[in-house]
Chains A and B, each alone.
Chain A
Amino acid sequence: MKSFIKYISDIFSGVASLLKGMRVTGKYFFSPRAIVTQQYPENRHKKGKKKLEMFDRFKGEVIMPHSENNQHKCTACGICENNCPNGTIEVISVMNIGEDGKKKRALDKHIYRLSMCSFCALCVKTCPSKALAFSQEFEHAVFDRKKLIKILNKPGSTLMKGIE
């Protein structure tokens, strides 16, 4: 008899526990405003709170910011190349003869292989002239993997004045 009562009461307490859980799910079912799902990619073009925006510090990809005169800050010192754990960066420099007749190293190509980058931020942090930064771009999918090899300095760009 005792076991029978326990059997019945177990059924009721079991159903009660299920209903308790369903109260929570039911609450969300009837209050659609609590839903937090974002509609991607539609929210790229939305305005206001629903717009998809990354935080300023988000490590999307390494870029080299250029000024409006197409000038960058990279002196081709190669520190970023040495610090990168994955061999992502390759700095190719040329020797220019400056106005005063002295030889001076200048940046030819700053090659960045996005496919090999693990976003550790060591290059950005250790660059002595703060020539590198992270962009907030995160949609990196391309059809050809050659497109992931990027040359960060823009064509025809020069070194910013006052940076040695």
Chain B
Amino acid sequence: MSEEISSVVDIDQQEYIINIGPQHPSTHGVLRFVVSLQGEVVKSLQPHIGYIHRGIEKMCENLTYQQIIHLTDRMDYLSAHTNNEAVCLCVEKALGIEVPERVKYIRTILDELTRLASHQLWWCSFGMDLGGQTCYFYGLRDREKILDIFEETCGARLLLSYNTPGGLMWDIHPNFQKRIKEFIKYFRKKLPEYDAILTGNVIMHQRTEDIGILSLEDAISYGITGPTARASGFSCDVRKRYPYSAYDKADFKEIIYTKGDTFHRYQARMDEMWESMKILEQLVDNIPEGDFTAKMKPVIKLPEGEYYQRVESARGELGVFIVSKGEKYPYRMKFRSPNFCNLAIMNKLTSNFKIADLIAISGSLDLVIPDIDR
């Protein structure tokens, strides 16, 4: 009798398919993973995307270059300023105009603040994914200080829309520099607390070390960028390799780790926070005097041609590609979003790991779903 049952249903061999998402609390956004399991082990994983596709690239074809900026906020909302800047830099490159030094410095400072805020949010949600609720409150508490700086100068906390082709919407607030210096002083004390709570934690170590190893070859062939790729030894920092804005004036290290497991991806981001603070310290006192915008015509028409500009957002390389036919609207606009490429590796990273590791791995890739769907 018992023999008969086991021949009908062999649980060990049976494949079991579950959906994670679209609204699972551990995937930040509306993404759906169709996971095929054998017991507790992930055999294959298929991401299904497009739940918040808004057609941003298509919408851009009917908007002027000034109007496009506010849409790019809504792609990777945690790197809103970086997205804005990418479009502005591309338009400025096409027009061949040089923005004032002051603009370059302010843009770089805001870039780094954005990166810090984004990594703080990543840290706290990563901690929460692994079961550490406390992290969430500590991370958000410190992020609040950066959002206050944004709010005072740009007028918004998340979707800044502070850049405009040729410069900035308005000048910085008189308190801007003071607040940044206060923040750095404050955060230099708080970052070691992050390490004490999560980095050294034994549970965290056991759940991340040797989990989801991304090899250098895979990182390159899948087009992975950002801290995720740098944790695998792929030196791809756009800030270093193709410096834009004022990054050539700042002295900072490109964080490279070699193992490529979840823990090294974690470490790469933690170290980037220290580097970001270093960049801020170098630039904040040296903002040159001058205009906050270059002289621009009210209607911007790009000369006919194709233009590409890349920047380093908090998650990797963001590329903006504009095809212009000489009109005030772009003929085609394409965004190369880092999250889309980083998502592609999920199947390879998670296969033959446990389902609990899947959450840790997807947390360590730091995916922002609206950027994938656009």
Q: Which residues of A contact B (CB under 8 A)?
A: 13-15, 17-18, 20-21, 23-25, 36, 54-55, 57-59, 83, 85, 118-122, 125-126, 134
Contacts and interface: CB of A to CB of B under 8 A. Distances in A.
Contacts of A14: 202
A126 B164 CA distance: 12
Given A83-B66, A119-B159, A120-B70, A18 B201 contact: yes
B151 interface: yes
A55 B152 contact: yes
Contact of B67 (A13, A17, A18, A83): A83
Nearest to B204: A17
B154 interface: yes
A120 B161 contact: yes
A119 B161 contact: yes
A121 B161 contact: yes
B197 A25 contact: yes
Given A83-B66, A119-B156, 5 more contacts: A15-B202, A18-B201, A24-B196, A85-B71, A120-B67
Given A25-B197, A120-B70, A57 B202 contact: no
B202 A13 contact: yes
Nearest to B190: A24
B202 A18 contact: yes
Interface string B58-75: 000001001101110000
Nearest to B140: A36
A51 to B, nearest CB: 15
B55 interface: no
Contacts of A20: 196, 200
Interface string B156-173: 100101000000011001
* Most chain B beta carbons < 10 A, residue from A18, A23, A121: A121
Interface string B129-155: 000001000000100100010011111
Interface string B296-340: 001000000000000000000000000000000000000000000
B6 to A, nearest CB: 36
Contacts of B70: 85, 118, 120, 122
B193 interface: yes
A21 B151 contact: no
B198 interface: yes
A18 B197 CA distance: 8
Contacts of A21: 196-198, 200-201
Contacts of B148: 55
B300 to A, nearest CB: 12
27 contacts: A14-B202, A15-B202, A18-B202, A20-B196, A20-B200, A21-B198, A24-B197, A25-B134, A54-B151, A55-B152, A57-B151, A57-B154, A57-B170, A57-B173, A59-B155, A83-B66, A83-B67, A85-B67, A118-B70, A119-B155, A119-B159, A119-B161, A121-B155, A121-B161, A122-B67, A122-B70, A125-B169
B95 to A, nearest CB: 19
A57 B63 CA distance: 26
A57 B66 contact: no
Interface in B180-234: 193, 196-198, 200-203
Contacts of B197: 21, 24-25
Contacts of B71: 85
Nearest to B162: A121
A25 B170 CA distance: 41
Contacts of A17: 200-202
A23 B197 CA distance: 9
A56 B130 CA distance: 39
Contacts of B155: 55, 57-59, 119, 121, 134
A106 to B, nearest CB: 24
B188 to A, nearest CB: 16
Contact of B169 (A55, A58, A118, A121): A121
Nearest to B205: A17
Nearest to B145: A36
Contacts of A25: 134, 197
A120 B71 CA distance: 9
Given A20-B200, A24-B197, A57 B67 contact: no
A122 B156 contact: no
A55 B151 contact: yes
Nearest to B62: A85
Contacts of B161: 119-121
B153 A57 contact: yes
A24 B193 contact: yes
Contacts of B66: 83, 122
Contact of A59 (B156, B193, B202): B156
A36 to B, nearest CB: 5
A59 B155 CA distance: 5
A159 B152 CA distance: 32
A119 B148 CA distance: 17
Contacts of A15: 202
